[in-house]
Amino acid sequence: MSRSLIQNPILRGFHPDPSICRVGEDYYIATSTFEWFPGVRIHHSRDLVNWRLLTHVLTRKSQLNMEGDPDSGGVWAPCLSYDAGTFYLVYTDVKSRQGAFKDTPNYVVTASSIEGPWSEPVYLNSSGFDPSLFHDADGRKWLVNMLWDHRTRNNSFAGIVLQEYSPELNKLTGPVLNIYKGTAIGLTEGPHLYRKDGWYYLITAEGGTQYNHAVTVARARHIEGPYETAPDNPVLTSAGDRGLELQKAGHACLVHTHTDEWYMVHLCGRPVKDKYCNLGRETAIQRCTFTAEGWLALSGGGNQPLLTVEGPDMPAHPFPAPPERDDFDAPELDVRWSTLRVPADDSWLSLRERPGSLRLRGRESMSSLYHQSLVALRQQDFCCSAETSLEFEPEHFQQMAGLIVYYDTKDYVYLRITHDEELGKCLGIVRSRDGVYDDSMFEQIPLPAAVSCKLKVAINREFAQFYYCIGDTGWEKIGRSMEIYHLSDDFPAYIRFTGTFIGMCAQDLSGTSHFADFDYFEYKELSR
């Protein structure tokens, strides 16, 4: 049987910090979701080549309350594992992230099925982020996480700490040991533990999750250490070669297949222009081996990420492609949709009040860290289009609804219908660039009352062009093609971690919850 080839990235668009878990012949990847709800996406594969979005882990506000969480806060670096019939997921809900301090409570949830229901969270610690749970052969369980040191005279990334976890007591027990301080690359985080041939292997991320990102490997005979760093460290990095299509390679996790092969999933970024990665940090995979000396290495040699990787010795298992169009005929949102910080509920989102339509009741502004009425999909292609049709009759300038291309509260572009005292119902584009709001770039277009309006955006790498269509007339451009590279991790001076979303939203800043009805949403990949 000829082997399939894996094309990277395997999870396109905003899917960072992958954690891979095998159960029998099924493979699951958990990824960070940050301030987007539901929390922690789970993708599924039977061959490591084809992947489908299966479910989410954190689906209730009792498991994940992100009201007020900052941009690029929320769920960081979950770790998915399985032992003796139980799935475990540990995760951080970051409550503050800028400045000297980081408030990083860590939790664990469990389930007997990957599709849930998942338990209520058990609090673990708050000493740092990137928690990972290791199940040893003797039945003991160990948590590792990076240690955050807020003191300015010290290294903030203060090492990897280890502590035993008791599932009977539902808490961490025993001493906290700092087992690894990292290498000269610095910024040591993202730990995962493995055991093979009498060695404990510690995989960490170093260099920061940007262009100096790297995967470091160390090992020890005892879980407490001492840990020796691999002689050819780092085992994976894109640093120093901006010509590589996969940049930012790091934050890796290993899987041993049922066919006795080794693979490493890791995050990466693909710039659309210069250093700007509008799709966010994505997930890729590399084939690995262990050398005669027992060190982890990439199968093809070297330490750079490859776009095309030899697949495992498994039969192909493709999945149906998700539909391009959602007509909102189902009673619940499709698994692909995300909302900001809070779950969708009937107080602001309904698929039943007007069957066949998505009704959004306007709430707070695009700057809110609490109650935005926004439903969106990840942008997963450099070149794509998205369109929707809505009925909306605003009565006041504080009421808006439309099609938004959104990174976070500081950066978005928004084709919205609103009300103007002179024009009445009208259509225009607003943009926020690094927190500077601008609605004066293009003229507002008057719209007839009681008529539906279609809205569309076409994205070509770092450029976006908006269109509109009134009733059954043809598409008309609104405004000029505009640069949107500011919708990326890399645009501002401060670090952020998510990616671009495209979706529908409604605002009513007067507080009267004026609603908009969206008839459909369609997302298409365009030729590159």
> Shortest CA distance to 270 belongs to which of 300, 302, 242?
242
User: Are 213 and 284 members of one domain?
Assistant: yes
Q: Would the pLDDT of 21 be above 80?
A: yes
Same domain for 297 and 341, yes or no, is: no
Question: What integer pLDDT is reported at residue 527 of this predicted model?
Answer: 77
Q: What is the pLDDT of residues 212-262, one digit of tens each?
A: 999 999 999 999 999 999 999 999 999 999 999 999 999 999 999 999 999
pLDDT at residue 184, rounded to an integer: 97
Residue that terminates a domain, selected from 310, 345, 365: 310
Question: What is the reported pLDDT for 528?
Answer: 59
Instruction: Based on the fold, state whether residues 340 and 281 are members of the same structural domain.
Output: no
Cα–Cα distance measured from residue 135 to residue 30, given in angstroms and rounded to the nearest whole number: 18
> Tens digit of pLDDT for each residue in 486-518?
999 999 878 899 999 999 999 999 999 999 999
H/E stretch holding 93 reads: strand 86-94
- The residue from 310, 336, 353 where one domain ends is 310
What is the per-residue pLDDT for 498?
A: 97
Asked if residue 509 is part of any domain, the answer here is: yes
Q: What is the pLDDT of residue 152?
A: 84
How many of the other CB atoms lie within 10 Å of CB of 277? Answer: 26
Rounded to whole angstroms, the Cα distance separating 248 from 361 reads 39
Q: Are residues 464 and 370 in the same domain?
A: yes
Encode pLDDT of 259-302 as tens digits: 999 999 999 999 999 999 999 999 999 999 999 999 999 998 99
Closest-CA residue to 12 (of 311, 245, 209): 245
- Please provide residue 98's backbone torsions phi and psi, each rounded to the nearest 5 degrees: -110, 150
Do 256 and 300 share a domain, yes or no?
A: yes
Q: Does residue 320 belong to any structural domain of this protein?
A: no
Residue 245's domain is classified under what CATH number? 2.115.10.20
Q: Which residues contact 184 (CB under 8 A, 6 or more apart)?
A: none
Q: Please tell me the distance from the alpha carbon of residue 459 to that of residue 293, in angstroms, as a whole number.
A: 49
Over the stretch 472-488, which tens digit does the pLDDT of each residue have?
Answer: 889 999 999 999 999 99
Q: Tell me: do 484 and 449 sit in the same domain.
A: yes
Tell whether 316 is covered by a domain: no
The parent domain of residue 485 ranges over 325-525
φ/ψ (deg, to 5) at 136: -85, 165
Set 17, 35, 391, 508: catalytic member: 17
Are residues 216 and 333 both part of a single domain? no
Q: Are residues 330 and 306 in the same domain?
A: no
Q: Answer yes or no: is pLDDT of 154 > 90.
A: no
Evaluate if residue 1 carries a pLDDT over 60: no
For residue 472, the model assigns a pLDDT of: 81
What distance in Å separates the CA atoms of residue 421 and residue 369, rounded to the nearest whole number?
A: 29
CB atoms within 10 A of CB 330: 9
Q: What are the tens digits of pLDDT across the range 73-89?
A: 999 999 999 999 999 99
Angle at 152 (CA atoms; ends 150, 154), nearest 5 degrees: 85
Q: Same structural domain for residues 294 and 357? A: no
Which of 310, 334, 359 is the last residue in one of the domains?
310
Helices (H) and strands (E) in the chain, counts: 0, 40
Q: Within this chain, do residues 157 and 111 fall inside the same structural domain, yes or no? A: yes
How far is residue 179 from each of residues 200, 218, 381, measured CA to CA in Å?
12, 11, 41
- Confidence band for 410, pLDDT divided at 50, 70 and 90: very high
Place 331 in a pLDDT band, splitting at 50, 70 and 90: very high
Q: How many domains is the chain built from?
A: 2
363-405 per-position pLDDT tens digit: 999 999 999 999 999 999 999 999 999 999 999 999 999 999 9
Establish whether 189 is a catalytic residue.
yes
Token readout for 292 is 């005669």
Q: What is the CATH number of the domain that holds 509?
A: 2.60.120.200
Where is pLDDT greater, at 492 or 10?
10
Statement to judge: residues 267 and 341 lie in one domain: no
Locate 473 and state its tokens.
């007339």
Task: Please report, for residues 134, 188, 290, 295, 315, the alpha-carbon distance to residue 140 in angstroms, rounded to integers and kept in the order given.
Answer: 8, 25, 26, 25, 35
DSSP code per residue over 198-230: TEEEEEEEES-SSTT-EEEEEEESSTT---EE-
Q: Is 17 a catalytic residue?
A: yes
**From 47, 130, 189, 489, the catalytic residue:** 189
Mean per-residue pLDDT over the chain, rounded: 97
92 and 162 together in one domain? yes
| Residues 325 and 520 sit within 8 Å (Cβ to Cβ) | yes
Q: 63 pLDDT exceeds 60?
A: yes
Question: Considering the domain boundaries, does residue 252 fall inside one?
Answer: yes
* pLDDT on residue 525: 96
Q: How confident is the model at residue 336 (pLDDT cuts 50, 70, 90)?
A: very high
Query: What's the one-letter identity of residue 23?
Result: V
